[in-house]
Structure 1
Amino acid sequence: MDDGKAISALGQALRRIVATITAMAGFGEEQTLLRRQRNTILRLLRPAESATRRLIVAMARGLAVHLRQPSPARPRRLGPKPQTRRWPLVLSLLDPQRHRQRRRWVRRTSVPRIMHLGLAAALPLVCRPLPLPDDVLDAAGLNARLAALNGALADMEGRARAFARWQARQAVAANALGAIAAGEPAPARLLRRALRRPLRIGRAPGNSRRSPHEIHTLLAQTHTLALDALAPP
């Protein structure tokens, strides 16, 4: 089976799974979820986002795009800033970068009990409650991520063209970086764009080898297609 048929089959399977996740979350109806419900949805949403991102990368292979010339810098406007328009959340075409050090949450059980002169009793100790499975949490952010994922699946061709334009801009930045003299320092913005990777090195975000869910099989297949699309000719 060629890449076109594989991408079409994987896209249909991915849309079916995302529709199931959307039904589980009650998208557009419930603005709150229990903690156990939210954790279950997130365990499926993360690999679904990664699989969609990799499917878009595979679709962008060989697309010819035209980059617009950068517009000249506009003079700075004085006075109050105009009201900014709120744009909806869009699925990122690049994998989120790894955090070097994660901040671990530790339950505070004791603090130094310092007494001051003239203070009769010690200050009360306020402890953060332990997270429970039945805690009611806000689901607005989860609904926004689901909306972005459904929007990306509905416009796969448009998102693939957007990724092809990003690749073209990255190639321009790499060429400009190579043209800079060896002794001249490169601009930080140009260096970040030239060295930015679209996919993480190693396992895809949300990948789980122990989970038997179908989404992880789709993620492995889309990951292989994306790596083949990004490989140099």
Structure 2
Amino acid sequence: MTGKRTTSEEGRHLHAQDLRVFQGVQAWVFDLDNTLYPAETDLFSQINEQISSYVARLLSIGKKEAQVQQKAYYRQYGTTLRGLMLEHKINPDDFLKHAHDIDYSTVKPNPALGTSISALPGKKYIFTNGDKPHAERTAAALGISDHFEDIFDIVAADLIPKPSRETYDMFLKQTGVSPVRAAMFEDLQRNLDVPRKLGMRTVLIVPSGTRDVFREDWDLEGGDLKGGQKSSVDFVTDDLTGFLKAVNGALKPL
């Protein structure tokens, strides 16, 4: 792809000509945390605090030690929950309830995002390593609940988190989504590796104002890392609403 860049609104993304790769997409799959709402909302920091307090209480250790152990489980098992299940046989329902006992008032309604999601052709899904009640409360706070066909959560995934290939296979089987006719939006690159291999268009959501930093590592128009290594990321944006608006514009009939 060879699209030029502009200084207009689309200049924060690729030129609309490149966005035509989304033609034929019939399923739009969105991660939840730090994707449908911006990272600066700081909602996920509350979840991290709740998880740390759960680990501290369970293992009878201090907060700082609990944070270290929490991160170790996350790195080894994909989620702290899975680590605690495998090593301590915890009740996942208790963990999920505690982890998501947070204040959602920091999540503000985003009608522009809702309009952009609604305008996308086909079905839309939330695919999260969190649980469904958390996703429902977050989507409600954003004012976008009515735009989604379904929510595929960690419980539906048999508590096996992304980026496990098995989890994506379960999502595709349950929803009937064809990966070659799907696009996935994520804030973690490692969670886009499998979708890219399956044929999905992939979009990495980065914190506001950091897109230019990521441009140093990705050739956005070819999806290549420096040195010729293939990236799992087709597009990078720090503005999901604006990106979807540009996609919708690119999909309009000429």
TM (norm. structure 2) is: 0.21
Q: Which has the higher strand share?
A: 2
1 or 2 for the larger relative contact order (CA 8 Å, sep ≥6)? Answer: 1
